Amino acid sequence: MIINFTKMHGLGNDYVYVNGFEEKVSNPEELAIAISNRYFGVGADGLILINPSSIAEAQMRIFNADGSEAEMCGNGIRCAAKYACERKLIKADKPFSLPGSKDSWPGCQIETGNGVLTVGVEIDNNQVSRVCVNMGQPELAPGKIGVLLKGENIIESPIEICGKKLMMTCVSMGNPHAIFFCDDIDAIELEKLGPAIENHPLFPNRVNAHFVTAKSQTEFTMRTWERGSGITLACGTGACASCVALVLTGQIQRNCIAHLPGGDLDLNWSQYDNCVYMTGPAVEVFHGSFNWPD
């Protein structure tokens, strides 16, 4: 069976996209493992299917490189919006703007594992150059995040990782995130700490891990270990969660820039509707076909 695909990335967080309006994938978990392999496959952080939806213009399903299905991907939804709009699978014909802003972009809705999200697309020469996503309201309750701790929230809570005591803040943006503040993110042994945090017994469904440094009241840097994929160049939901964690601890303003290894994201945790808005690029790399023995 031949699977036609498009390779895309948001700040280096790369996925293989399959048009579910035309292609039928019966076993996406196994396909994700095979096609994501950087030596024997196409190479990516995972697989994203863009499917028809009964409740939105399109549906996005995300499968990590290990075959596990994720609820949400911030960089992924930007690319999915670009793909679907440029190929006219959907129409971006609804006004979209940041709360409190007079600027408006063409908008549409995409169904995800975190519900239906609204996106706005910036169009230049008939191509989508940037996408803004209303990522929804952050969730701070441990039960909603998926962490086996009590209390109303987990802010600067101690956890032991690899024999070290770290202070952890947990936020869900439709998927779970553990954020750790540090002075020097480059000094962090992410290859060692990342998998230990992801698979810690406190997280029965595993977790994404981020090490974050506030550079000023409007900028921060971060490094990411993604659940099911390992070290990635960017994590959109993780950047949103880190923004929330930094604001909650008084380190940064609600409107800020996240500097990730793959590039920058503009973030705004709106005081008007409590939603986090993420704006960043979406890039198409190449098209191809994959021989899949389904």
Strands 46-51 and 13-19: parallel
Q: Which helix (H) or strand (E) holds 216?
A: none
Q: Where are the domains of the chain?
A: 2-134+281-291, 142-274
Q: Do domains 2-134+281-291 and 142-274 have the same CATH topology?
A: yes
Mean pLDDT of 67-72: 96
Mean pLDDT of 185-193: 96
CATH class given for the domain over 142-274: alpha beta
What per-residue confidence (pLDDT) applies to 262? 98
The predicted-structure confidence for 73-88, as pLDDT tens digits, reads as follows: 999 999 999 999 999 9
What per-residue confidence (pLDDT) applies to 293? 83
With 80 as the cut, is the pLDDT of residue 21 above it? yes
Amino acid at 117: L
The predicted-structure confidence for 216-246, as pLDDT tens digits, reads as follows: 999 999 999 999 999 999 999 999 999 999 9
Q: Give the CA dihedral 127, 264, 75, 229, nearest 10 degrees.
A: 140
What per-residue confidence (pLDDT) applies to 126? 87
Tell me the average pLDDT of the chain. Answer: 96
Percent of the chain's residues with pLDDT above 90: 94
Catalytic residue ranges? 73, 235
Nearest to 74 by CA among 9, 25, 18: 9
Cα–Cα distance, 227 to 147 (Å, whole number): 14
* Block residue for tokens 């389904």: 294
> Which sign, positive or negative, has the C-alpha torsion 213, 245, 280, 284?
positive
Contacts of 87 (CB under 8 A, 6+ apart): 19
The predicted-structure confidence for 110-162, as pLDDT tens digits, reads as follows: 999 999 999 999 998 889 999 999 999 999 999 999 999 999 999 999 999 99
Q: Does domain 2-134+281-291 have CATH number 3.10.310.10?
A: yes
Cα–Cα distance, 43 to 235 (Å, whole number): 17
Q: Please say whether the beta carbons of 65 and 228 come within 8 A.
A: yes
Contacts of 74 (CB under 8 A, 6+ apart): 10, 133, 135, 173, 235, 236, 237, 238, 239, 240, 265, 278
Cα–Cα distance, 261 to 233 (Å, whole number): 5
With 80 as the cut, is the pLDDT of residue 169 above it? yes
With 90 as the cut, is the pLDDT of residue 251 above it? yes
Nearest to 130 by CA among 138, 118, 120, 122: 122
Q: Which helix (H) or strand (E) holds 271?
A: none
With 90 as the cut, is the pLDDT of residue 102 above it? no
With 90 as the cut, is the pLDDT of residue 294 above it? no
Residue 186, SS3? helix
Phi, psi of 141 (to 5 degrees): -70, 130
If pLDDT is split at 50, 70 and 90, which confidence band does 98 have?
confident
Q: Please say whether the beta carbons of 57 and 84 come within 8 A.
A: yes
